[in-house]
Structure 1
């Protein structure tokens, strides 16, 4: 029996490889500039984009496990990029918010992310870009 299964034709594999390639390349930017890891960047992004919120809110939005968020929050807090405030009604819950320094890092990285995205998409025609974005958003259920 001949095995004709090709991993490079298996969509989940190709998507994972493409995501890892792009993610690692972009990670160099926030790692070199701010010493951040992927989880820290994602938490910073969600706080910068959506404002103050709980770790649970970020977990739902970013599809990140709470332990990864907890580690990222601790690092960002150590570096004074965010603050934690206990909620009056329930002290088990905290509201996370960016500090001025965190907001400045977010603003800087957002601009760089937009440039990175534009450069990445420049290899595709406008039509290909539209199809690619729509297809990926559909697969990601976003």
Structure 2
């Protein structure tokens, strides 16, 4: 049987498979912090980023977490309303502000870190240590390659006078 090269078998398409894995893992983990604290995925990503790095601007959070600025802004507003993050004006650039966890936000973050680690351990359970290390290296290399491809496409689009589509 000849495979039709004009069709794309979505279930075998790497970007699709990676997205399904990421979405499935993210939604499973989200169940933990959604039930306990009514935190959404974007809110958790902000808290996790601030918990790891400390005070950052919304733009920096968006760049690190790969979230669109609108999503960061909405999630930050919800967290601020619930007193989990604090917004402080940037005296050097009044157009932006720094976000940081409040003591309440820090407590929530610290209570969720062990749960998140436990979830990852359970997700990786079918893999032995060498497979885990290999997966980590492969994900790093694929991420670097995807970023390189994206940069090349953007460069190509800008030299042709067009814009890169998302």
TMscore range, shorter length: over 0.9
Under a length normalisation based on structure 1, what TM-score does the superposition of the two structures give? 0.92
Query: What runs of 5+ residues in structure 2 fail to find an aligned partner?
Result: 148-166
4+ aligned runs moved over 4 Å, structure 1: none
Among 37, 42, 45, the alignment partner of 2:40 is: 37
Q: How does 1:11-26 map to 2 (within 5 A)?
A: 11-26=14-29
Note if 1:93 corresponds to 2:96. Answer: yes
Deviations 1:56-99 (A, max 9, x none): 11111111111000000000001100100112222212011110
Q: How does 1:109-120 map to 2 (within 5 A)?
A: 109-120=112-123
State the shift of 1:19 in Å.
1.1
- Say which structure, 1 or 2, has more relative contact order (CA 8 Å, 6+ apart): 1
Under a length normalisation based on structure 2, what TM-score does the superposition of the two structures give? 0.80
SS in 2 for 1:84: strand
Q: What is the CA–CA distance in structure 2 between the aligned matches of 1:28 and 1:128, rounded to whole Å?
A: 27
Larger Rg: 2
Note closer, same or farther for the CA distance 1:2–1:117 as it changes in structure 2 (3 Å cut).
closer
Q: How does 1:57-68 map to 2 (within 5 A)?
A: 57-68=60-71
Residue matched to 1:51: 54
